[in-house]
Structure 1
Amino acid sequence: MPSVLGLLEAREKKIREEVARLREEAERLQAALGEAEHALQRLVDARATVAEVLAQPPSAVADPVRSAVAGAVVPHWIDGMRASVLAPGYQRIVTVLRSEAGREGMRCQQLAAALGLEVIPAKIEGVRSKAKRLVERGWAVQVRPGVFTALAASAG
């Protein structure tokens, strides 16, 4: 026949294990609750910001397509605009295209080499992407497929 103390010790051990398991579960739930509350607060803040912006009259919102907005990498070229408004990588491309070597037009491989980049497909494609963006925004022209030069009007 088991002793009363032995039975109590076994029961105490079982309850201690249950308490430890429940504490771990409570900690896990507390962490999940904190994450959910954080996500909820971000959504509430976002909704409030959107409501604030939508409450402004339409005239208060600038035309983002044609203006040189801070942070815009390649704004649309406007008469008198200087290349200094461009991000440094784009400024370098425009400078090379305006140079004597770029006047007749340059292929992206030549342009990459003139920029001091490694002439590998990844770098050439990066230059091609930037050159095409300069064409789209009026800073350069594509004189033949794959051949770019600076726009004469933007040479200032």
Structure 2
Amino acid sequence: MSGVQDPSTWLLDRIDARETALTCETEHVQAQIDELTAKLSELGQAIEHLRITRKTLLALAEEPEPASPSPVLPDHPAYQQILAAFAEVGQPMRARDLCQVLDLPIARTNTENIRAKLKRLVSRGILVETEPGLFTPPRP
């Protein structure tokens, strides 16, 4: 009986082998579970970010536009005369045209002074320069 193994040893060896195989398989499955759990967490976080983004965009879309402050007209009465002339004529004008409407002599100094005032009104958002030298009130 030298080549024959004891049946109890043989069974224990088989149990040990099976336990080792199951332990390896358990570790492999646990690694897969950990990987899938991490992936699930990443996906959940991405979904939550999209929900927050959607909620923020919808909230922003519902907010009224902040009112821009009204442009401040310079104190000098010439500016009121200029705006009154634009309201009366109802079309874009050049500095020379405005001198004629305001009954100013067509002289270089008058034209340059009016042009400077028109540029100042443009810088304050009261008028717009649609092309070089052509001024008009902005459209609402």
TM-score (norm 1): 0.42
Q: Report which of the two structures shows the higher radius of gyration computed on alpha carbons.
A: 2
Flag the structure with more relative contact order, 1 or 2, with Cα contacts below 8 A and sequence separation at least 6. Answer: 1
